[in-house]
């Protein structure tokens, strides 16, 4: 399982971001339904969900661009709705679109936003140098913003977000469209920011990236929070059942092994034969001791087993199990005790 690179972040400070019963309705359509979340200082929260899940609505409420229908959201004790002007100074927001201006160089662009945040010219010049250094954009300071590549624009966008030294950074799809190297650099940059005490809320569709950097993950679908916790906790929430994988010496023994396993575990359990990999994969709620007996039966049945291990639920699998629409689940053929060939 991919886990966060930041084990020390668990000991992060007091709650900075608190969302309580947040609901947003557009007429009869509920974009956000009774959302509750808490995030401590110095932590990174990964907000994931399919398109239309309510991620951007949540973010826009937090930065004061949308008013909630009911509920509360606060950052460092400041209400996001009633005290929007204070929130603007505390939060750095990077939307999923860059917000480019024609004929403006990178430095001028940052200078403008620095001035818009009311940073005094001398401090601003120093601050621009700092953020450009941090985000690795110093070499492109004289380039025109509209001529930058997408990856460069993402970096400049992050630099802009950091200009006024906000406590909380809210980043909508920061790694979207980046090449692998730029993605790794962006990931390191976000970890670096969190290590400096910044609290980050990040949305992304690139789940392994989130799994690597986030201390907390929130999965949303249809405006509701479906799961919240560390990647491991979410994996456990997904299912009480575990996926076990048994690899054999010979592919010829796969059907026999599958039969033995089927007899040993719950009736109707999902058993998948993968002859190409000489593997049998199955899902079960059996305990460690009971799994031990399954292995014993395989060995007693002259099956030559090279590996017998649990396949951990990763974020992608967890996401898919929540994101899959209910109708699709209902429509999916249920395998009842049979064998599904992969």
| Interaction site with other proteins (CB under 8 A) | 63-67, 81, 84-85, 88-89, 91, 93, 95, 97-105, 107-108, 111-118, 120-121, 124-125, 140, 142-144, 147-148, 160
Q: Could you tell me the smallest distance in angstroms from the CB atom of residue 29 to other proteins?
A: 13
CA triple 320-18-317, angle to 5 deg: 10
Q: Could you tell me the smallest distance in angstroms from the CB atom of residue 3 to other proteins?
A: 33
Q: Could you tell me the smallest distance in angstroms from the CB atom of residue 36 to other proteins?
A: 21
CB nearer other proteins, residue 13 or residue 121: 121
C-alpha to C-alpha distances, 231 to 240, 284, 302, 314, nearest whole angstrom? 15, 21, 38, 8
Q: Could you tell me the smallest distance in angstroms from the CB atom of residue 50 to other proteins?
A: 22
CB nearer other proteins, residue 97 or residue 296: 97
Given a contact cutoff of 8 angstroms between Cβ atoms, the answer to whether 155 and 148 are in contact is no
Environment class of 219 (CB within 10 Å of its CB; exposed 0-12, middle 13-18, buried 19+):
buried
Distance between CA atoms of 227 and 246, rounded to whole angstroms? 29
Distance between CA atoms of 94 and 204, rounded to whole angstroms? 13
Q: Which two tokens stand for residue 120?
A: 């005094």
Distance between CA atoms of 92 and 64, rounded to whole angstroms? 12
CB nearer other proteins, residue 144 or residue 308: 144
Q: Could you tell me the smallest distance in angstroms from the CB atom of residue 61 to other proteins?
A: 8
Distance between CA atoms of 169 and 69, rounded to whole angstroms? 24
Q: Which two tokens stand for residue 21?
A: 């019963």
Q: Of the candidates 294, 303, 305, which has an alpha carbon nearest to the alpha carbon of residue 242? A: 294
List, edge to edge, every strand of the sheet that includes 271-274.
Answer: 305-311, 242-248, 279-284, 271-274, 339-341
CB nearer other proteins, residue 85 or residue 336: 85
Distance between CA atoms of 67 and 65, rounded to whole angstroms? 7
Q: Could you tell me the smallest distance in angstroms from the CB atom of residue 218 to other proteins?
A: 22
Helix, strand, coil shares, percent, the chain, to 5: 40, 25, 30
Tokens 């790794």 -> residue = 184
Find the length of the chain. 342
CB nearer other proteins, residue 118 or residue 333: 118
CB nearer other proteins, residue 157 or residue 235: 157
Q: Could you tell me the smallest distance in angstroms from the CB atom of residue 140 to other proteins?
A: 7
CB nearer other proteins, residue 119 or residue 315: 119
Q: Which two tokens stand for residue 9?
A: 């972040």
CB nearer other proteins, residue 113 or residue 308: 113
Q: Could you tell me the smallest distance in angstroms from the CB atom of residue 112 to other proteins?
A: 5
Would you give the end-to-end CA distance of the chain in angstroms? 22
CB nearer other proteins, residue 160 or residue 281: 160
Distance between CA atoms of 71 and 21, rounded to whole angstroms? 5
Q: Could you tell me the smallest distance in angstroms from the CB atom of residue 92 to other proteins?
A: 9
């Amino acid at each position: 399982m991919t886990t966060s690179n930041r084990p020390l972040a668990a000991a992060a400070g007091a709650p900075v971001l608190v969302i309580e019963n947040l609901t947003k309705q557009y007429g009869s359509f509920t974009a956000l339904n009774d959302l509750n979340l808490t995030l401590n200082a110095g932590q990174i929260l990964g907000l994931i969900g399919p398109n239309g899940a309510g991620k951007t609505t949540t973010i826009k409420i937090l930065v004061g661009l949308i008013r909630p229908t009911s509920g509360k959201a606060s950052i460092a004790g400041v209400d996001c709705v009633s005290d929007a002007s204070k929130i603007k100074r505390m939060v750095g927001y990077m939307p999923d679109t860059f917000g480019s201006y024609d004929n403006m160089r990178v430095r001028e662009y940052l200078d403008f936003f620095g001035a818009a945040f009311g940073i005094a010219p001398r401090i601003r010049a120093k601050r621009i140098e700092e953020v450009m250094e941090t985000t690795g954009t110093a070499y492109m300071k004289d380039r025109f913003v509209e001529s930058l590549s997408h990856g460069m624009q993402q970096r400049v966008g992050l630099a802009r977000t950091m200009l006024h030294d906000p406590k909380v950074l809210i980043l909508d799809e920061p790694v979207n469209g980046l090449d692998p190297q730029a993605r790794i650099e962006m990931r390191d940059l976000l970890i670096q920011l969190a290590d400096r005490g910044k609290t980050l809320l990040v949305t992304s569709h690139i789940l392994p990236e989130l799994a690597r950097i986030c201390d907390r993950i929130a999965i949303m679908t249809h405006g509701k929070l479906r799961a919240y916790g560390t990647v491991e906790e979410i994996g456990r929430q997904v299912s009480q059942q575990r996926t076990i994988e048994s690899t054999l010496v010979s592919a010829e023994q796969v059907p026999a092994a599958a039969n033995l396993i089927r007899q040993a575990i719950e009736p109707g359990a999902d058993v998948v034969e993968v002859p190409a990999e000489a593997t049998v994969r199955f899902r079960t709620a059996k305990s460690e001791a009971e799994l031990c007996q399954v292995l014993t039966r395989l060995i007693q049945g002259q099956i030559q087993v090279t590996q017998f291990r649990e396949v951990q639920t990763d974020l992608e699998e967890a996401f898919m199990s929540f994101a899959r629409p209910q109708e699709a689940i209902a429509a999916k053929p249920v395998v009842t005790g049979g064998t599904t060939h992969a």
